[in-house]
Structure 1
Amino acid sequence: MSQAIHHGKTEQSNKTQASERSTMAMWIQAQQLQGEASHQMQALYGQHFPIEVRHYLAQWIETQLWDSVELDNPAEEAKAKRLLDNLVAELQRRAQLQGGEDGFLLKIKLGHCANQLKSTYDRCPLELVRCIKHILHSEQRLVQEATNASSEAGGQAMDSLSQRHQQINQAFEELRLATQETENELRKLQHSQEYFIIQYQENLRIQAQLSNLSSLPPAERTQRETTLQSKRATVEAWLTREATTLQKYRLDLSEQHQKTLGLLRKQQTLILDEELIQWKRRQQLAGNGGPHEGGLDVLQSWCEKLADLIWQNRQQIRRCEHLTQQLPLPGPMEELLSKLNSDITDIISALVTSTFIIEKQPPQVKAVIVSEQQAKALLKNESTHSESSGEILNNNCVMEYHQATGTLSAHFRNMSLKRIKRSDRRGAESVTEEKFTVLFESQFSVGGNELVFHVKTLSLPVVVIVHGSQDNNATATVLWDNAFAEPGRVPFIVPEKVLWPQLCEALDMKYKAEMHSGRGLSEDNLVFLAQKAFSSSSNNPEDYSKMTISWAQFNRESLPGRNFTFWQWFDGVVELMKKHLKPHWNDGAILGFVNKQQAQDMLLSKPNGTFLLRFSDSEIGGITIAWVAENPNKSGERLVWNLLPYTTKDFSIRSLADRISDLNHLLYLYPDQPKDEVFAKYYTPPLSKAVDGYVKPQIKQVVPEFTTPNPEPSGATPSFMDQTASPSVTHPNNFSVYPPIDTMLDADGDFDLEDTMDVARHVEELLRRPMANQWSSQQS
């Protein structure tokens, strides 16, 4: 679940700046592909040609003459073999360049790729050329199509995401060139200092020779002394000048490093404080059903590049320190280098600790569970290492290296929460509003224990529940937090109230995710929800655009005249749709968010038998059928009727489509679609004939006030339930399908008996017992 960034070293090129900027152009553009184009690009790679080879050898690959090889000419195999050998050699050379602990994993990976390619294509090198040509041509096509699509969109400038990515990639190129430049300058300084030391030793040798002249005859001593004095003067003058030059070289190099560190900080801030924060925000919204966060591979690539550049610059600074210690010269170099070393260590520490992240958020528990107060203390660097708010079993896991992705990760497979310690709650806060978080910790070193890091990260807030009945309220807490938490907040502060359009966005995201469809909540649906949330009658969306809704209105205070909250009602709708009615919503057959008065206004203008499906106002997770028909008690009067709401329990007995099929007075789905055109594909096939002398019972629903005989095929025998629905057939009282009451429904859809629905359900349950078989025996 957790990820640490793997660091790798890149090759130092000695090409000119102009040629360096022109190479890798295709790979840089390919990495910027979005959506399906990005998936197609990634699908080009695999075991046959690892994407790591394309990435780390991008410049080399794009400068080879792959198109010069004629794939259908066997005589070209020697040329293809040379390209294969050169590719393998380049990979091996790149692997050998990796030094230190930080490059160890990349060295292994590149060496493995070299051996893999050698083994795969050594006997068929033309296949390697064919593979690479296909990859390069496909990348070029995808990039060109993306460019054309952008142009066809009206010549608009590339979107902000692409612009940011281009900005980051350009900054990396600038950093790479700056790092290469300081590397070259450092080598010059090293060579100059080595020559200076040689000349300094020469000066010491001349001084020693002068000291030994006393043993020579006077004439010879004078001559030798004059020569040596002249030579010493020349050398000392050179040393004086060169010492000044060396000081300038060191100061100039120090200034260059300061500039590079400034660029590194800027780039790291852009990646960690903007891109990574936005990724975490997308991850948070994904918890509410938003698009899958994605993009982690791009972030990882950037962080690897950052780590590589930071480490290269740190090693350069360390070499400068070594040179300064080797040849101390007057000046501020020791202080400057010490400051540079401290600054770059801070940069790499920030990178490592910030990129220890959780890729897949846990459902509710993980590793060490801590409370909101403990999380606040952690972020203030107040030690809570020995404290936790519960006991988690199997909370330790070994990190593993994954070659395919270049990542270190840990996957906790069998964790479970054994015990939880709750805090004292305040006011109206319930257990389902109490937030916890999972603390992940790890420790590792780089550079041969040169730097040791203790990294930790917190999961998104979790809510601990003990019964399924608490699920919807806990979900409300998580949804509100995911939707409205601000970056960099104190754990786990969220606003007490938000603008209504903000909540609409969160509800729409949740609804679309549960329906697995692009059909979310329309503007009319959102107006209906606003009317319910604010007890308003306005149909104008603008009336709600500036209104705020509080957490209490969302899921603490019951709706007027009801014993449930706004969220509990909405969540009931979502659960009902998700479990039983998703296809019908995606077909557009369910209007849903319509009140009684709206349904009446809509249906009265339509022919008799027109019906619509709307969510119940009075029951959580209920849906009712409203239809227009003649009043059986008053000729010439048309009324809109509302059937007793169905719930998930009803649909577990008989589906919505079958129930609509049963009711012959329902003819047209609003506005004017014959119901069979909409629902027939969901009808349950007719039952088979009797087996072993037994007749299978069949459940159908009827509404006595609107029952008419079902049309039967010629020669067919009416079923028991069909006969029950017919007013011309009588049966013994003990087999009545519905009790003789007139209060099951009325023109307003209101019910006088609290237990009407329970009676209907009870009868349906009875029908599943052997009663029908008994009746069959009596009639035989």
Structure 2
Amino acid sequence: MAQWQSLQQLDSALQNRVKQLYEGRFPLEIRHWACDLIETRDWDSAAVDENAARTCFHVLLECLDEQWNRSVQENTILQAPNFGWMKNFLLEHLQNDCSNLARVLSDCLKEEKKILDLAAATPICSDQSVVPQKWKELDHNVSELKRKILELKKEIKTLESLNEKLDFIQKTWQSNAVEQNIQPVQIQAQMEQGCLNQAMFITQTKQIVLNQLVNLLNQASQTVATLTDVELPEWKRRQQLACIGSPVDTSLELLQKWFTAVAEVLLGVRDQLQKLQDQNNIYSPTDASNFSASIAAIDKFVLSNVTKLLTNALVVEKQPVMQKLPQRPLILKTGNRFRVTVRFLANLPDFRCLLKVKPVFDKDVEEVKSVSGFRLFDFTTDNSKVLDVDAPDGGLMAEFEHMSLREKLKRSKALSENPVGVTEELHILRFVTVLHHAGQTFNIEASSLPVVVVTSSSQVPSAWASIMWWNMVSTSEPMNLLLFADPPPISWQQLSQLLSWQFLSVGQRGLDGDQLSMLRDKLLSDPEGLVHWSKFSKDESVWIWIDGILDLIKKYFADLWRDGAIMGFVSRHRTSVLLQDKPTGTFLIRFSESIRDGAITFSWVDHSSGETHVHAVQPYTKKELSVLPLPDAINHYSLTAHGKSFNPLVYLYPDIPKDTAFQRYYNVSGAAPTKKNTTDYVGRNLASVSINPTPPPSPPREAPIYEDNNVNNNPLLPGVNCMDNNFDDLLDLPEDIFCPSNQLQPLSLRDAFNDPLLSDPNMMDH
């Protein structure tokens, strides 16, 4: 249980990342209650061995059975979790796919280890581990409300006893006097005076109780205002930032605790007011009118606070997200499934199964009526759900797991068109419900953050740019769905933070000052330090280039990025400056600036010819990295010069031996073998080779971003180029040989016949 215990010691932001690992993949409660077994099984082997996976599956079932039997023997069934549900989940969802269970747990355990390593390498700030003072004060105020309502209940109970006693005396003192042979006339004055004194005491007590009620309600009203006007908007803002990559805490644990407690107090006050009214009607009917007016005024005040609290209690806990894009919420594609989770923060037993929530697309959105060309969508099915206690924490929630959108019939074009593009058009999902409780009706709504609806996967990068921009600049309601008709700029400080979050989210490592400085030079031209929407997303497609690099990291070298082996955003000029004083063979890895869809390259320094030269290999694209992992490309990179082949890469910048930096990432002991075929061809390997580097005399200028990475043929030597292609076919050269870029020229046919290795007959046999 060591790993799970360690995870529970992390701060809430990292714990939330652990929670996200399991969302939609495996129940977190099973991970918790079967942690010992899960951490001791070999899930890596089970992931590739069906028999081993099935064995692990049955052992996991037995573990849950043992836990259930223990709770029965110890008579702790009510306190124990629902082990029966856990077992049924495994049987229903994973019994026929045990290998998938093994793959999921293998992956999650590895990711947990990465999070622990990240936490160990990150210094803990003292203020992060401390609960904010305002939360301590709010928690204290809520506890005080709970204490005061308990005292108030005791006071009203005492008041009821006093009324009952007085009523009993008034009705029985005469008969009791006769039984004791006392003439009623003799003690009448005394008894009447005693009853009058008791009645005055009761009246004073009632006034004290009313004053206590008013004081309690004033404090409760302030707490309601704090929850609905301060804490809830701040949580929603944190959720906005979390959606675009910020590692902030979005837990609802405290808010649910406070909403529930205050709702319980307010509803308890209404119950006590009714008891006071009933007592007054029974025991003081002559004083009923004045007292009833006071009770009614107080009850009206209570009801206004209850309404404010409950109508704000429904929240979208998890924003709309497609299963295919878990790290990019708020982008929805027509016809594709997405999920949303809503939660009711006032988690009282009386509310369970009373709230049926219905999602409505673009409800009360003015743009639907006022903007011509605004697209119309609807859900493919009725997705209404009843809120129930489904979460391990007992929360009152509903998860909409099978939602999808379809576009309605095209609207006829009016005189003016939609002022924003498809990936800038924003929509809203609203969740509506009605609560009937204690004779009152509460109309309750919650809204998602704005979503972008796309019809093609190619629109996702631009849509994500819109989502990031909107959530960075919009912090208040009502939501401006036409923000991109006239998009405001954002400061470089905001944008740099936003970009760093993207890399932190994808590769668990943000951008440092040097990397951001390079991006700043590309993005910032405004003298006031502002970045404009057109500069970021449209004119020069800088975001598309950055997004391509994020995709590279996610798919091909997230571990290298996380561990700091990749320098990343560093210009060619700065590369030369960093390497020129380093020993021969020192290299660094950086992102290509010339390939729009993202690519990566490495540059190394060479002092062997008496001059300092910095070489850069042609960038590796996604296609090449899909067949040759970057660590193996570095390990088996071969440079042929002056008749000799060698690997020029010796030290990873600044001075780390290559194998020390990359050995744990190597996948193969040699160059990647090609697929086996049934012919008599000689086998070959896929390797990374450069021949005869010719370094430029000075650092080249930055190349513009372009989409096509094909190397242009030499128009001056068309015949030679054609012969080169034919010669490659005759020699059966590797299909994916990686030719160097403008700094390392590919070997031509003419060069090949001039090469001593090929011109020497003795060498040709080798």
Partner in structure 2 of residue 699 of structure 1: 686
Q: Which whole-Å CA distance do the structure 2 matches of 1:475 and 1:198 have between them?
A: 75
Matched, 1:568 2:544: yes
Higher alpha-carbon Rg: 1
Matched, 1:454 2:443: yes
Partner in structure 2 of residue 508 of structure 1: 500
Q: Which whole-Å CA distance do the structure 2 matches of 1:374 and 1:205 have between them?
A: 74
Task: Give the Å deviation of 1:342.
Answer: 1.5
Matched, 1:308 2:299: no
Q: Among 615, 621, 631, which residue is 1:657 paired with?
A: 631
Partner in structure 2 of residue 522 of structure 1: 512
Partner in structure 2 of residue 667 of structure 1: 649
Give, as a single letter, the amino acid of the residue that structure 2 aligns with 1:698.
N
Q: Which whole-Å CA distance do the structure 2 matches of 1:247 and 1:158 have between them?
A: 53
Change (3 A) 1:292 1:548: closer
Partner in structure 2 of residue 247 of structure 1: 203
Give, as a single letter, the amino acid of the residue that structure 1 aligns with 2:510.
G
Q: Which whole-Å CA distance do the structure 2 matches of 1:318 and 1:452 have between them?
A: 18
Q: Among 246, 268, 279, which residue is 1:323 paired with?
A: 279
Q: What SS class does the counterpart of residue 414 from structure 1 fall into? A: strand
Give, as a single letter, the amino acid of the residue that structure 1 aligns with 2:429.
V
Q: Is the 8 A contact 2:359 2:384 kept in 1?
A: no
Q: Which whole-Å CA distance do the structure 2 matches of 1:522 and 1:358 have between them?
A: 33
Change (3 A) 1:231 1:259: same
Give, as a single letter, the amino acid of the residue that structure 2 aligns with 1:525.
Q
Task: Give the Å deviation of 1:445.
Answer: 3.1
Q: Is the 8 A contact 1:392 1:417 kept in 2?
A: yes
1:461-610 equivalences in 2 (<5 Å): 461-492=450-481, 496-515=488-507, 517=508, 519-535=509-525, 547-556=529-538, 558-559=539-540, 564=541, 566-610=542-586
**686-695 or 569-578: which moved more?**
686-695
Give, as a single letter, the amino acid of the residue that structure 1 aligns with 2:655.
D
Q: Which whole-Å CA distance do the structure 1 matches of 2:237 and 2:442 have between them?
A: 26
Give, as a single letter, the amino acid of the residue that structure 1 aligns with 2:522.
K
Q: Among 386, 400, 408, which residue is 2:388 paired with?
A: 400
Task: Give the Å deviation of 1:475.
Answer: 0.7
Task: Give the Å deviation of 1:393.
Answer: 2.0
Q: Is the 8 A contact 1:666 1:675 kept in 2?
A: no
1:147-546 equivalences in 2 (<5 Å): 161-198=131-168, 201=171, 237=193, 241-291=197-247, 293-326=249-282, 327-330=284-287, 332-363=290-321, 364=332, 368-371=359-362, 374=365, 389-402=377-390, 404-419=392-407, 429-447=420-438, 450-492=439-481, 496-515=488-507, 517=508, 519-535=509-525
Q: Which whole-Å CA distance do the structure 2 matches of 1:580 and 1:674 have between them?
A: 22
Task: Give the Å deviation of 1:666.
Answer: 3.0
Change (3 A) 1:612 1:437: same
Q: Which whole-Å CA distance do the structure 2 matches of 1:160 and 1:274 have between them?
A: 20
Q: Quote the sequence identity (%).
A: 25
Q: Is the 8 A contact 1:395 1:412 kept in 2?
A: yes
Task: Give the Å deviation of 1:552.
Answer: 2.9
Relative to the length of structure 1, the TM-score reads: 0.61
Change (3 A) 1:253 1:403: same
Q: Is the 8 A contact 2:146 2:261 kept in 1?
A: no
Change (3 A) 1:192 1:277: same
Change (3 A) 1:427 1:551: farther
User: CA deviation digits over 1:49-105, x for unaligned, max 9?
Assistant: xxxxxxxxxxxxxxxxxxxxxxxxxxxxxxxxxxx9xx99xxxxxxxxxxxxxxxxx
Task: Give the Å deviation of 1:580.
Answer: 1.1
Q: Is the 8 A contact 1:375 1:437 kept in 2?
A: no
Give, as a single letter, the amino acid of the residue that structure 1 aligns with 2:742.
D
Q: Is the 8 A contact 2:425 2:482 kept in 1?
A: no
Partner in structure 2 of residue 624 of structure 1: 601
Q: Is the 8 A contact 1:496 1:550 kept in 2?
A: yes
Partner in structure 1 of residue 614 of structure 2: 640
Q: Is the 8 A contact 1:250 1:333 kept in 2?
A: no
Task: Give the Å deviation of 1:258.
Answer: 0.8
Partner in structure 2 of residue 684 of structure 1: 668
Q: Which whole-Å CA distance do the structure 2 matches of 1:200 and 1:163 have between them?
A: 55
Change (3 A) 1:200 1:116: farther
Report the structure, 1 or 2, having the larger helix content: 1
Q: Which whole-Å CA distance do the structure 1 matches of 2:274 and 2:256 have between them?
A: 26
Q: Which whole-Å CA distance do the structure 2 matches of 1:359 and 1:575 have between them?
A: 27
Task: Give the Å deviation of 1:433.
Answer: 1.0
Change (3 A) 1:730 1:274: closer
Task: Give the Å deviation of 1:417.
Answer: 1.1
Q: Which whole-Å CA distance do the structure 2 matches of 1:575 and 1:477 have between them?
A: 18
Q: Is the 8 A contact 1:392 1:416 kept in 2?
A: yes
Give, as a single letter, the amino acid of the residue that structure 2 aligns with 1:699.
L
User: CA deviation digits over 1:576-635, x for unaligned, max 9?
Assistant: 11111222222322111111211122223234443322222232212233333479xxx7
Q: What SS class does the counterpart of residue 239 from structure 2 fall into? A: helix
Change (3 A) 1:694 1:446: farther
Q: Which whole-Å CA distance do the structure 2 matches of 1:454 and 1:488 have between them?
A: 19
Q: What SS class does the counterpart of residue 441 from structure 2 fall into? A: strand
Q: What SS class does the counterpart of residue 374 from structure 1 fall into? A: coil
Q: Which whole-Å CA distance do the structure 1 matches of 2:524 and 2:198 have between them?
A: 82
User: CA deviation digits over 1:251-275, x for unaligned, max 9?
Assistant: 2221111111112122233334333
Report the structure, 1 or 2, having the larger strand content: 2
User: CA deviation digits over 1:295-335, x for unaligned, max 9?
Assistant: 32333233322222222222111111222333234473222
Partner in structure 1 of residue 714 of structure 2: none
Partner in structure 2 of residue 23 of structure 1: none
Q: Which whole-Å CA distance do the structure 1 matches of 2:9 and 2:209 have between them?
A: 34
- In structure 2, the gaps of 5 or more residues are 1-7, 19-27, 35-70, 84-123, 322-331, 333-337, 341-357, 370-374, 640-646, 695-723, 749-764
Give, as a single letter, the amino acid of the residue that structure 1 aligns with 2:436.
S
Task: Give the Å deviation of 1:359.
Answer: 2.2
- In structure 1, the gaps of 5 or more residues are 1-30, 49-83, 89-109, 118-152, 210-223, 379-386, 537-543, 708-728, 760-778
Q: Is the 8 A contact 1:610 1:670 kept in 2?
A: yes
Higher relative contact order (CA 8 A, sep 6+): 1
Change (3 A) 1:34 1:171: farther
Task: Give the Å deviation of 1:159.
Answer: 6.9
Q: How many residues align?
A: 559
Q: Which whole-Å CA distance do the structure 2 matches of 1:551 and 1:618 have between them?
A: 22
Matched, 1:746 2:746: no
Task: Give the Å deviation of 1:520.
Answer: 1.4
Q: Which whole-Å CA distance do the structure 2 matches of 1:334 and 1:397 have between them?
A: 41
Change (3 A) 1:244 1:595: same
User: CA deviation digits over 1:229-264, x for unaligned, max 9?
Assistant: 776655555555555444333222211111111121
Q: Is the 8 A contact 1:372 1:491 kept in 2?
A: no
Task: Give the Å deviation of 1:667.
Answer: 2.0
Relative to the length of structure 2, the TM-score reads: 0.62
Give, as a single letter, the amino acid of the residue that structure 2 aligns with 1:289.
G
Change (3 A) 1:627 1:193: same
